[in-house]
Structure 1
Amino acid sequence: MNATTEVLIVGAGPTGLMAAAQLLRHGIRPRLIERSGGPSVQTKAVAVQARSLEIFRQMGLEAAALREGQPAEVVNIYADNVSAAQVPLGLIGQALTPYPYLFVLGQDHTERLLGEDLARHGLTVEWNTELLGLEDGPGGAVARLRGPEGREERVQVRYVLGADGARSTIRHALGIPFEGGTYARLFFVADLEVRGKLRPGELNLYLSRDTFQGLFPMRGDHRFRLVGVVPPELAGRAQLEFSELRPYLERSSRGGLRYGEPRWFSVYRVHHRVAARFRQGNVFLLGDAAHVHSPAGGQGMNTGLQDAYNLAWKLALVLKGQADPALLDSYEAERRPLAQRLVETTDRFFTMAVQTHPLAVLARTRVVPWLIPRALRLEAARRLVFKTVSQTGIHYRNSRLSAGDLPASAPVQPGDRFPWLTVDGTDTLALQGGQRFTLLALGAWGRADLTELRELRPELLEVHHLPALALPGMPECALYLLRPDGYVAYASTRLDPAALRAYLGTQLHLRASDARTALSSPHAARALR
């Protein structure tokens, strides 16, 4: 007889771990398998963006993450060993998020934090467990697994999440094209001490005629995670050693940097690809299984974390019987366009950073360093840069889940991340990220109005009245319905319970139910404990 589970997650990297952690918070216990024997040790991803830290905070992981990592509030750009520009991330983002910096935390540390969180909730990663085959059907899928002792089993699952990396077994099994290409240049990453003309505790970018170097500050004296391009004359070596690369790096920095012996060193190819579909039947692709791109901007791991954050609450509502499966269509509709834009944007930037064509060299060493400080004199440009890099500017305004009647001039629209605001001791981030939707009533609503809102769907809605919270450009009174992932689902200046109820049923695909039925289900009971 087949074993059964509601959700099977394949891949225990950051994306798979986040998906498992979020499902647990919503009362769903998945199985999480990983073909390797243990967590990653040598990892390329090193940046945790502000939006990911906001999620960590809602998970209770903020303090542990901040102890492990290193904030970089300034990006220093050197062109041919001359200081050319500074990007003060801390000053730009201080009103936008509690984390106005690039946070340097290696993927291995991120995986450990998430793994420890799973262990606290009683879920163990099944290491040395491989997916051998997958058969998808109308009512679910059957996965064939092989465990650490070589024993095979067939598992009946309702949904499968493929978080198994760029060479995804699941994507190949489903025949989903992985459209894009591979950069011609070979790249390297090393963990080591670097001294010389650079600022410790800050991100330093060295741009030169033939290469670039990115030095991400790590915990420890003069310790950096170094990424860059392998010179063409060394790219063909079967076993490249860092000692062979060191003279080229010193020459490209014009003697400004001195490199210690690396704790570890690795070379790799960089791809830029997006899966043609993020969903096929009962199977979903997340993280590198769905999209891979250049390391420009430190976006890759964070995008996978947000894939999981987007999908988990939707899956939980469907599995609890509180929403129709049609809700799950919004995952691909929301996440794939973002992945496409990200690949296109990072591809343009990365191509400029690594090409040896004279125009690319001119842009890299002269035009960009000249342009950045001048552009950042503009407030709009500063905010755009920070919101783009930090991923706090991601929105789903074109999603079918986003609706309302706000004027076009309103600063926060349906589909936007609700901004981080603190008024009279109220932190809007602290009101989000639970198992339910959050309804914020901004302005002078009457007691009867609030009672009517609280009685609308008490099993799904938490209502908070914030009379002193006002957004510039907004009417005196406004209602914001926030999804469990913190994005605005519905917004209005009118109290219209019938319109809100219709939205919940028609666009969010929530099923009608009374509170007693919803709260008596096993899933709901686990979620609310």
Structure 2
Amino acid sequence: MSSESIVLVVGAGPAGLVMALALSRNGIKVRIIEKNSTFHLGSRGAGLQPRTFELFQTLGIMDDVHKFATPMMTMRAYKLPGGTVPIKTWDMFKKGPVQHDRPYANGNLSQELLEEILRTHLAKYGVAVELSKALVGIDQGVDTVTATVAIKQPDGSEIQESIVAQYLVGSDGTKGSSRKLLGLTFQGETLDADGMIWADVEIKGLTNDFWHVWGKPGYFTILARPHYYTGNQFSIGITGQNFDPADLVEPAKLTQFIHAETGRTELEFGKFTSLTYFKPNIRMVNKFQEGRAFVVGDSGHVHSPTGGQGVNCSIQDAGNLAWKLVLVLKNYARPTLLTTYSDERLPVIAQMLQATSVLYTHIVTPEKKAENETGWFRWRNLALLMYGINYRYSDIILEERDTTPQDKEEALAHAYSGYKELGVLRAGDRAPEAPGLISTQHRLKTSLFEQYKLTLHTVLVFTAEGQEQLVTEVIALVKSYPKDAVQIIVISGEEPRHFTGTNVLIDRDGHAHNAYLALNDTVTIAVVRPDGFIGALVMDVVGVQRYFSKIFDVDGRVGEIGLQ
């Protein structure tokens, strides 16, 4: 049996579902298969960083995420023996006020619920996850890739299906087959002396106002995080260095261990809905692309859960690749654009692995540290919030506002940590939020994040007195590009007298001008990519043309729309 698809996504975890939804929203035909016969259960991978919430907003799922996500809970450690007297209360990530350009804080959302939200939105486009279908072969041709899929039948037998696609995206995790079939290396190490257990269980007798911690220095740590501020559902974890809880992967044994080591024998453990064991791995592939196939998320990189980067980096992978696939599949861009996925993401992931490996050394021993230092389950590396991730070193980034030369090697060294401390904004950086804008069309308040879409490049034009002709020329140029690929927004400090028929936002409070460092007497043009990064900062029409010549077909021309 054989069938065709434009993009085949292998693996229905968060990265695969985000990829499938982003493609579907752009009108791309997609299939998504999953080797397991049931959907994921459990809250593992629940920690979400602010940048992930930002991507969810552009993906159009933030309203549903808001219904279930909870703030990152304050942690509390207890004295042993006894396990009830608090000895330390702290926040894993330092909390602070929400800023105009950074509207989200860290949060928690069960991976099980996140995947359900993504599947629900995917269903609106007629796409459903196809369970019990395992990838067993990949055959690449010049214009297509053929996937051989083993389909498990109810009676235990298997039949095979050949799926012919233009591109394949492997998001089937560390143990998946896509990376292996593509022959990608998985360099790094497994910490064989260590082990971790994570589980979801009902616990009676434990309050749900803190993330509870019990630890024996230099040995192990026991954690219990409430799912919500009400109810009895908890996620529990046992971590350690030179400590392997492999013999505790049974509810009764795990319960007995927690009772004995915490002293909290009065705690009543109910039904376990999930219980997993694994050894920390710190590995990544040598490249994210092989021919017409790609890997995203855990298929391409894996690390310890310290720092809460795993699911977040996986989702960012999908966001980076999806818009590039869309432009290529619509014949707006050449396939060479796809090589920038690996070029942009590899440096970020390599530096992220290094940062989380350093954090891993702090998960056991509760040493006394200054408040601004990383300590026992307290992360003070601001890079973990992912605001600093940037692509200044990318060949498809164009910076013309700041004429200071940027050394590419130096830029590569800051791919993950960024430059926030310098107080500058360059092309390749995260596109900041700006609230309090007034639409001249509807006279309603809006924000830039409400305007950005994972389906579109957004050209922001900050006006200046006496420069109406330049702005008009930019508008005319942008409107010559495909409407399903590029939109334009004019931002003015006051009520404009020109630019009718264009989306104009009034920035009376100055939040947009401040965030993008735009001066009132100079036209500034920022091109925001669909994945929420600034593709270009330029000053004129020619600059806009130069940027899109890097993205679209040769000399800025685009091909015929291929997916009508």
Report the TM-score, using the length of structure 1 for normalisation: 0.85
SS at match of 1:296: coil
Partner of residue 49, structure 1 = 49
SS at match of 1:396: coil
Partner of residue 6, structure 2 = 6
Partner of residue 215, structure 1 = 224
Cα distance in 2 for partners of 1:153, 1:431 equals 41
Q: CA deviation at 1:109?
A: 0.9
Runs of at least 4 residues of structure 1 off by over 6 A?
A: 77-80, 195-198, 230-234
1:19 aligns with 2:19: yes
Partner of residue 415, structure 1 = 428
Q: Are the structure 2 counterparts of residues 73 and 130 from structure 1 closer, same or farther at C-alpha, using a change threshold of 3 Å?
A: closer
1:113 aligns with 2:117: yes
Cα distance in 1 for partners of 2:393, 2:91 equals 34
Asked whether the 8 Å contact 2:22–2:454 carries over to 1, the reply is no
SS at match of 2:367: helix
SS at match of 1:430: helix
Letter in 2 for 1:299: Q
Asked whether the 8 Å contact 2:373–2:380 carries over to 1, the reply is no
Partner of residue 465, structure 1 = 490
Cα distance in 1 for partners of 2:79, 2:304 equals 21
* Aligned counterparts, 1:116-155, within 5 A: 116-149=120-153, 150-155=158-163
* Aligned counterparts, 1:321-360, within 5 A: 321-354=331-364
1:184-231 Cα deviation digits (max 9, x unpaired): 212111223557897x34545555402223433312325321222279
The structure whose residues are more often helix, as a share, is 1
Partner of residue 361, structure 1 = none
Report the aligned-residue RMSD.
Answer: 3.0
Q: CA deviation at 1:33?
A: 1.2
Cα distance in 2 for partners of 1:257, 1:35 equals 41
Asked whether the 8 Å contact 2:297–2:315 carries over to 1, the reply is yes
Aligned partner (choices 260, 267, 275) of residue 269 of structure 2: 260
Cα distance in 2 for partners of 1:58, 1:430 equals 7
SS at match of 2:361: helix
Cα distance in 2 for partners of 1:86, 1:106 equals 19
Letter in 2 for 1:139: D
Q: CA deviation at 1:118?
A: 0.9
The gaps in structure 2 that reach 5 residues or longer are 81-85, 405-421, 438-444, 493-506
Partner of residue 360, structure 1 = none
Partner of residue 500, structure 2 = none
Aligned partner (choices 540, 543, 552) of residue 499 of structure 1: 543
The number of aligned residues is 497
Cα distance in 2 for partners of 1:13, 1:71 equals 22
Q: Are the structure 2 counterparts of residues 115 and 465 from structure 1 closer, same or farther at C-alpha, using a change threshold of 3 Å?
A: same
* Aligned counterparts, 1:287-366, within 5 A: 287-354=297-364, 364-366=365-367
* Aligned counterparts, 1:431-510, within 5 A: 431-444=451-464, 446-458=467-479, 459=482, 460-467=485-492, 468=507, 469-471=512-514, 474-476=518-520, 477=522, 478-492=524-538, 494-495=539-540, 497-505=541-549, 507-510=550-553
Q: Are the structure 2 counterparts of residues 304 and 337 from structure 1 closer, same or farther at C-alpha, using a change threshold of 3 Å?
A: same
> Which shifted more, 24-33 or 141-150?
141-150
The gaps in structure 1 that reach 5 residues or longer are 355-363, 377-381
> Which shifted more, 59-68 or 413-422?
59-68
Q: Are the structure 2 counterparts of residues 42 and 448 from structure 1 closer, same or farther at C-alpha, using a change threshold of 3 Å?
A: same
Cα distance in 1 for partners of 2:431, 2:266 equals 43
Partner of residue 450, structure 2 = 430
Asked whether the 8 Å contact 1:440–1:464 carries over to 2, the reply is yes
Aligned partner (choices 400, 403, 407) of residue 398 of structure 2: 403
SS at match of 1:16: helix
1:400-450 Cα deviation digits (max 9, x unpaired): 122212336762211111111213334111121242210111242643222
Cα distance in 1 for partners of 2:244, 2:141 equals 49
1:98 aligns with 2:103: yes
1:228 aligns with 2:228: no
Letter in 1 for 2:546: A
Asked whether the 8 Å contact 1:17–1:111 carries over to 2, the reply is yes
Partner of residue 379, structure 1 = none
Partner of residue 33, structure 1 = 33
Cα distance in 2 for partners of 1:157, 1:400 equals 28
Cα distance in 2 for partners of 1:456, 1:256 equals 71
Q: CA deviation at 1:323?
A: 0.5
SS at match of 1:261: strand
Percentage of matched positions with identical amino acids: 25
Asked whether the 8 Å contact 2:42–2:200 carries over to 1, the reply is no
1:440-495 Cα deviation digits (max 9, x unpaired): 11242643222211221322431111223322655333211001111000002x22
Letter in 2 for 1:396: Y
> Which shifted more, 390-399 or 248-257?
248-257
